[in-house]
Amino acid sequence: MEQVLELKHIHYSYHTLDGETPALVDISFSVEKGEFIAIVGPSGCGKTTLLSLISGLLIPERGLIKINGKYLTESTTNVGYMLQHDELFEWRTIYHNVVLGLEIQHMMTAKTRQRAHELLDFYGLKQFKNSRPSELSGGMRQRAALIRTLVLEPDLLLLDEPFSALDYQTRLNVGDDIGQILRREKKSAVLVTHDLSEAISLADRVIILSKRPASILQTIPLVFDLDEDTPLNRRNAPEFKTYFQLIWKELNANE
């Protein structure tokens, strides 16, 4: 299998006037092409720090990160980031929000424009291309934010609690929806979340982090015996509860 992402023995501490705060200790894992990984752990344990390292915003103190076989510093791989808030601009229409990344990266061509239209049409935003973000529901906005990331054709997507600003019911629907879009588009993704159900319904593997400074407590492959492996079907499958209890126990044992 091709590895999109590889982390080996990553250590990271924050240095402030008050002293040193160790955040990550000896983190190693990899993500195969097309694989969806969820990282769970208590609030404040170091999940966002981990994504910031993978996206190159922070530099590890020790260890190495490779993307598509190349060191992060030499990699030209396109990494997409999806955050808690959709960060859509009200002064732009949905279409113009979706192509913003293409504009910034000087990637606006007939082909990329067409791809933006195709994704908007396919994922139910056809009638909203000329609407402003405030005219859309939270779920539709999050879809638009995802499409803005997808038109850049990222090889790897980093998702930082992307559904946590939504109310519970919307969150379930949008989480399932976005999970299916990513599967259909065969994207490799790393999702960080403190929501165990979200992780279990979406991922191929769950990595459990300890409290800060985070180290990996356990990695759990998720296998569901389902005809149609969708997030919703997973939530209703008997394996769901088993995985939930397993991960819950592991997290609480570390408290």
Q: Provide, rounded to whole angstroms, the least separation between the CB of residue 22 and ligand ADP.
A: 9
Q: What is the dihedral of CA 167, 173, 177, 178, to 10 degrees?
A: 20
- By CB under 6 A, tell whether 43 contacts ligand ADP: yes
CA distance 95 to 74: 32
> Scanning residues 205 to 224, which ones bind ligand ADP (CB under 6 A)?
212
Segment lying near ligand ADP (by CB under 6 A), choices 41-49, 66-74, 107-115, 120-128: 41-49
Q: Does 7 bind ligand ADP (CB under 6 A)?
A: no
On the 0-12 / 13-18 / 19+ scale of CB atoms within 10 A, 151 is buried
Q: Is 45 in the site for ligand ADP (CB under 6 A)?
A: yes
Of the candidates 47, 68, 65, 42, the one whose C-alpha atom is nearest the C-alpha of residue 155 is: 68
- Whichever of 160 and 177 has its CB closer to ligand ADP, that residue is 160
Query: Binding to ligand ADP by residue 21, rule CB under 6 A?
Result: yes
In the complex, the smallest distance separating the C-beta of residue 138 from ligand ADP, rounded to whole angstroms, is: 22
Smallest distance from the beta carbon of 158 to ligand ADP, in angstroms?
12
CB of 98 vs ligand ADP, minimal distance in Å: 27
With a CB cutoff of 8 Å and minimum separation 6, the contacts of 23 are 12, 13, 14, 46, 49, 212, 213, 214
Q: Exposed, middle or buried by CB within 10 Å (0-12, 13-18, 19+), for 242? A: exposed
Binding of ligand ADP at residue 14 (CB under 6 A)?
A: yes
Size of the site for ligand ADP (CB under 6 A): 13
